[in-house]
Amino acid sequence: MAIKDSGFKKKSGSDGSIPTSSMADIAFLLLIFFMVTTVFRKDRNRQIEWTTAEATEKIDEKRQNILHLWVQRDGSVWINDVLTPFEDISETVRPIYAENRELVVAIRGDSEVPYQQINTITEELQASGAVRVTFATRLEQRAMRARR
Amino acid sequence: MAIMKRKQKVSDEIPTSSMADIAFLLLVFFLTTTVFNEERGLPIVLPEQSEEQDVSGRNLIFFIVQPDGRVIVRRGESEQEQVVAHTQVANILRTELAGNENLIAAIQTHPNAPYRHMVNVLDEVKLAGAERISLQEMEN
């Protein structure tokens, strides 16, 4: 009994409180970690009506490998917040693709854009070499589909 | 001199005990203001330029998308055409794929058809599990 008691006493001898002096260091370390790993978006969102698809997949790609290509209803194409004429798309994308061979171009087209324009864009992308493309869509639910 | 002395009594050290609170406050602020936006869509790999392949007509099925959203289905060499709604495309393609694994789904879209009709058909083709997809613009 005596032995047990002494053993218990020894354990409680260690300081039970969390060391607060190093807390600041830990917090700052976390803060700096998150600040460094944050990747900022290069462009802002544009007003488009999204297309929906049931087969929508999550694109498992690093954010810096994705290039957004916005096509608005009026047919204007925006790459990195720059209004790009159709014939200049391949010239704009080529250096970006040369820098990053993993590039995926996400075409964010308005649902009412005539297909002719989308076709021109894919042809321009082919000319620039960036052949990995996704047609950005919103996930469609079964219930929505039945109504369509 | 007396005034100087009184000032000296104020501690000139930064209070370290509250530093952790400040740091955590900043940390929580940045964590909550971060917005994650997932990339979602229908991935497809375009053929390389100048990479044109000759495909036997037997391995082709055409889905011709009209400006009004209707889809004309044409199987390879046969001239027979079938007009369907885009919701039927998946089932048609599924049965065709069961018969021929090498089938290429060619989506031909009318230049004036809205983009969403083409996405609807591409969606159906993806749902049917087609691996080989070709996107074309309909020639007039």
- Report the CATH fold assignment for A52-143: Nucleotidyltransferase; domain 5 (3.30.420)
User: In the predicted model, is pLDDT for residue A135 greater than 90?
Assistant: yes
Of the pLDDT bands very low, low, confident and very high (cuts 50, 70, 90), residue A5 is low
Write out chain A residues lying below 8 Å of B91, CB-based: none
pLDDT for position B55: 75
* CB proximity A24 to B under 8 Å: yes
pLDDT at A27: 84
Asked if A47 contacts A85 with a C-beta cutoff of 8 angstroms, the reply is: no
All residues at 6 or more sequence positions from B119 whose CB lies less than 8 Å from its CB, including other chains? A51, A52, A53, A111, A135, A137, B42
* pLDDT value, residue A14: 67
Rounded mean pLDDT for each run of 10 residues along chain B, 140 residues in total: 58 78 87 80 85 76 90 82 87 88 89 92 90 84
For chain A, what are the domain ranges? Answer: 52-143
| Between A59 and A141, residue with greater pLDDT | A59
Contact A102, A65 (CB under 8 A): yes
Considering only the beta carbons, identify the residue of B16, B87, B114 that sits closest to A112: B114
Give the pTM: 0.74
Within the 61-120 window of chain A, which residues sit less than 8 Å (CB to CB) from chain B?
Answer: 61, 63, 66, 71, 104, 106-107, 109-119
Rg for chain A, CA atoms, rounded: 27
Q: What value does the mean pLDDT take over residues A20-38? A: 83
Are A119 and B45 an interchain contact pair (Cβ–Cβ within 8 Å)? no
- pLDDT at residue A141 is higher than 80: no
- pLDDT value at A129 more than 70: yes
The beta-carbon neighbor of A61 closest among B22, B30, B39 is B39
B50 at A interface, C-beta within 8 A: no
Read out DSSP for A42-94?
SS-----PPPEETT-EE----GGGEEEEEE-TTS-EEETTEEE-GGGHHHHHH
Residue A146 pLDDT level (bands cut at 50, 70, 90)? low
Chain A / chain B CB contacts < 8 angstroms = 153
The reply to whether B42 touches chain A by the CB within 8 Å rule is yes
Looking at per-residue confidence, does B42 or A5 come out higher? B42
- What residue has token string 């109504």? A147
pLDDT at A63 over 90: no
Look at the alpha carbons of A135, A138, A142, A144 in this order and tell me if their dihedral is positive or negative: negative
Query: Could A114 and B111 be called an inter-chain contact, meaning their C-beta atoms sit closer than 8 Å?
Result: yes
Residue B7's pLDDT is: 56
- Closest chain A residue to the Cα of B137, Cα to Cα: A119
Distance (Å, rounded) from C-alpha A42 to C-alpha A45?
10
Per-residue pLDDT tens digits for B64-81: 999 998 899 988 777 788
Write the pLDDT tens digit of every residue in A72-92: 999 899 998 889 998 899 999
- Minimal C-alpha gap between A91 and chain B (Å): 15
